[in-house]
């Protein structure tokens, strides 16, 4: 849909303004002792995986309003992520959710992904829904279920997801459990946790040496009295018991209001247990809105801890992924906005004057410390992100190219107005 030629024509049109913006910023940052080339290279290397389930309109339980041209096969989902990656050079991986995605001809899928310069990121298991013709029901839980037969089915499903992931050369399994209770008395709380640990240990036994097991947590929904893994502490406890390859995954929407997520990041990194991220934004709960649309300062503060942790802890490489989808915007435009917001927060964190910050902290100079952080946050770093994209052969302004190339209407023409993606 978008060719190299389209990108160079677009970049030529945008270059004059971009080059004056980047020069201005370069002077400012050089003056502060930053090497702009290094910052741009760090940004260009940063890759955020796209979830296959975000390529269609998400909807709510009250309705769904698909805009047309959505991908209806795994091949089309790969093509959509390929398109994003072509535009921004930062979305070089797709994350599959099994069985929403059922890879049929894996060799063909691998070849197609390669054509688009894409890798297969973490594979996600699904034991929160009953599939048509399923032999067991997860109505009362999966890995925590009181019935050993149902626990075994859920464990086996996760093992099957690992098997599929291995074929695709994925390197991580992400587990999110809806398991919990909605009324007091429904669960023996200790029993449910114990059974979940045993089931996870059996899955962990099947994990290849070079894989990670990423364990999410969430305080409520779909269960409203207790979730078996409600918070980072419980996830941390479980991954610590499981072993080195198991780590906690932080989904930004899975916290009670006002939780200090950046502090959770700092604690997990200091224990080398931060395994992955699901980026999104929210006002109330797990709203799954576009990254940076509501709390961009929080995003910056999170990246501030991430950058500090990546430099000063032994925490292994982190898997970055978006987990956002909703009802109103074109899903591809929405994802471009999310990736951009992530890179902006990262760029802002890269220009924090850390030496001066450490000095201010040493002197308990609280006002100065705030000034230093906000100086970075208030710098318009968009030219750095655009420069990183251009350096990688992508578009200076991906959304404007997406719109001027009329991608959505071409997709509607190709796939139909009523093509609706599978997923939530
Ligand atoms: C649960 O709310 C969650 O964040 C998990 O990551 C699921 O796998 C995903 O959403 C599905 O959309
Ligand atoms: Mn998630
Ligand atoms: Mn969620």
Atom of ligand 1 nearest to the CA of 424: 12
**pLDDT at residue 318, rounded to an integer:** 98
Q: How confident is the model at residue 418 (pLDDT cuts 50, 70, 90)?
A: confident
Give the Å distance between the CA of 232 and the centre of ligand 3: 14
Q: What is the widest separation between alpha-carbon atoms in the chain?
A: 66
Could you tell me the distance, in angstroms and rounded to a whole number, from the CA of residue 411 to the centre of ligand 2? Answer: 27
Residue 176, ligand 1, Cβ within 6 A? yes
C-alpha Rg value of the chain to the nearest Å: 22
Q: Does the beta carbon of 397 sit less than 6 angstroms from any atom of ligand 1?
A: no
Cβ(124) to ligand 1 under 6 A? yes
| Other CB atoms within 10 A of residue 271 CB | 15
Across the chain, mean pLDDT equals 97
- Tell me the C-alpha distance between 150 and 131, whole Å: 14
> Does any ligand 1 atom lie closer than 6 A to the CB of residue 377?
no
Name the residue at shortest CA distance from atom 5 of ligand 1. Answer: 176
Closest ligand 1 atom number to CA of residue 253: 4
pLDDT band for 423, please (50, 70, 90 cuts).
low
In ligand 1, the atom with minimum distance to the C-alpha of 251 is 4
Nearest ligand atom owner, CA of 278: 2
Q: Is 278 in the pocket of ligand 1 (CB under 6 A)?
A: yes
pLDDT beyond 70 at 424:
no
Averaged pLDDT for residues 230-236: 98
**Distance of CA 344 from the midpoint of ligand 1 (Å):** 24
The backbone region for 46, taken as left when phi is positive above 0, alpha when psi lies in -120 to 50, beta otherwise, is beta
CA distance 88 to 396: 8
Nearest CA to ligand 1 atom 1: 176
- Nearest atom within ligand 1 for CA of residue 286: 2
- How far is ligand 3, taken at its centre, from the CA of residue 223, in Å? 13
pLDDT at 61: 82
* 255 alpha carbon, closest ligand: 3
The pTM for the full model equals: 0.97
Residue with tokens 């994925």: 170
Q: Please give the Cα distance from 113 to 288 (Å, whole number).
A: 26
Inform me whether the pLDDT recorded for 66 exceeds 90: no
Protein residue closest via CA to atom 9 of ligand 1: 323
Cα(176) to centroid(ligand 1), Å: 6
The reply to whether ipTM tops 0.95 is yes
Ligand 1 atom 8: residue of nearest CA:
176
Mean pLDDT of the region 55-73: 89
268-360-295-397 Cα dihedral, nearest 10 degrees:
-100
Decide: 326 in ligand 1 pocket, CB within 6 A. Answer: no
Helices (H), 209-353: 232-242, 261-270, 296-312, 331-350
179 within ligand 1 shell (Cβ under 6 A):
no
Q: Is 37 helix (H, G, I), strand (E, B) or coil?
A: helix
CA distance 107 to 113: 10
* Residue 127 φ then ψ, to 5°: -120, 30
Task: Give distance in angstroms: CA of 313 to centre of ligand 1.
Answer: 28
* pLDDT over 90 (residue 287): yes
Q: What is the mean pLDDT of residues 382-386?
A: 98
Which of 110-114, 360-364, 417-421 bottoms out in mean pLDDT, i.e. has the lowest? Answer: 417-421
Q: How far is the CA of 249 from the centre of ligand 2 (A)?
A: 8
Ligand number, closest to the Cα atom of 287:
3
Ligand 1 pocket, 281 CB below 6 A?
Answer: no
Q: Measuring CA to CA, which residue among 289, 207, 277, 191 is closest to residue 242?
A: 207
Instruction: Point out the ligand nearest to the CA of residue 251.
Output: 2
Q: What is the pLDDT of residues 22-34, one digit of tens each?
A: 999 999 999 999 9
């Amino acid at each position: 849909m978008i060719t190299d030629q389209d990108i160079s024509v677009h970049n030529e049109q945008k270059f004059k303004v971009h080059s004056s913006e980047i020069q201005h910023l370069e002077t400012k940052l050089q003056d502060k002792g930053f090497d702009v080339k290094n910052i741009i290279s760090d940004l260009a290397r940063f890759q955020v995986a796209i979830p296959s389930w975000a390529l269609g309109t998400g909807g709510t339980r009250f309705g769904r309003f698909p805009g047309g041209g959505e991908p209806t096969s795994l091949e089309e989902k790969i093509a959509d992520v390929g398109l994003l990656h072509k535009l921004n050079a930062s979305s070089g991986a797709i994350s599959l959710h099994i069985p929403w995605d059922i890879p049929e001809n894996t060799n063909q899928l691998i070849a197609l992904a390669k054509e688009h310069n894409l890798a297969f990121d973490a594979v996600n298991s699904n034991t929160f829904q009953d599939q048509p013709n399923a032999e067991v029901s997860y109505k009362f839980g999966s890995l925590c279920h009181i019935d050993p037969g149902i626990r075994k089915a859920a464990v086996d499903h996760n093992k099957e997801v690992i098997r599929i992931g291995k074929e695709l050369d994925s390197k991580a399994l992400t587990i999110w459990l809806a398991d919990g209770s909605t009324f007091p008395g429904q669960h023996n709380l200790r029993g449910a946790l114990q059974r979940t640990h045993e089931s996870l240990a059996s899955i962990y036994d099947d994990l290849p040496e070079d894989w990670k097991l990423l364990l999410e947590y969430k305080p409520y929904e779909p269960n409203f009295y207790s979730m078996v893994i409600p918070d980072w502490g419980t996830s941390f406890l479980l991954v610590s018991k499981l072993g080195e390859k198991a780590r906690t995954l932080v989904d930004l929407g899975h916290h009670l209001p006002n939780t200090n997520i950046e502090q959770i990041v700092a604690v997990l990194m200091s224990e080398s247990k931060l395994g992955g991220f699901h980026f999104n934004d929210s006002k109330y709960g797990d709203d799954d809105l576009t990254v940076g649309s509501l709390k961009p300062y929080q995003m910056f503060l999170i990246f501030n801890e991430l950058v500090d942790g990546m430099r000063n802890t032994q925490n292994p490489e982190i898997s970055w992924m978006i987990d956002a989808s909703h009802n109103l915007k074109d899903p591809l435009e929405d994802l471009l906005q999310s990736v951009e917001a992530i890179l902006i927060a990262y760029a802002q964190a890269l220009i924090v004057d850390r030496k001066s910050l450490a000095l201010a902290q040493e002197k308990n100079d609280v006002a100065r410390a705030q000034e230093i952080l906000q100086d970075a946050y208030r710098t318009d770093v968009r030219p750095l992100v655009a420069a990183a994209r251009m350096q990688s052969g992508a578009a200076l302004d991906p959304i404007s190219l997406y719109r001027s190339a009329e991608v959505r209407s071409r997709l509607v023409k190709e796939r139909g107005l009523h093509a609706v993606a599978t997923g939530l």
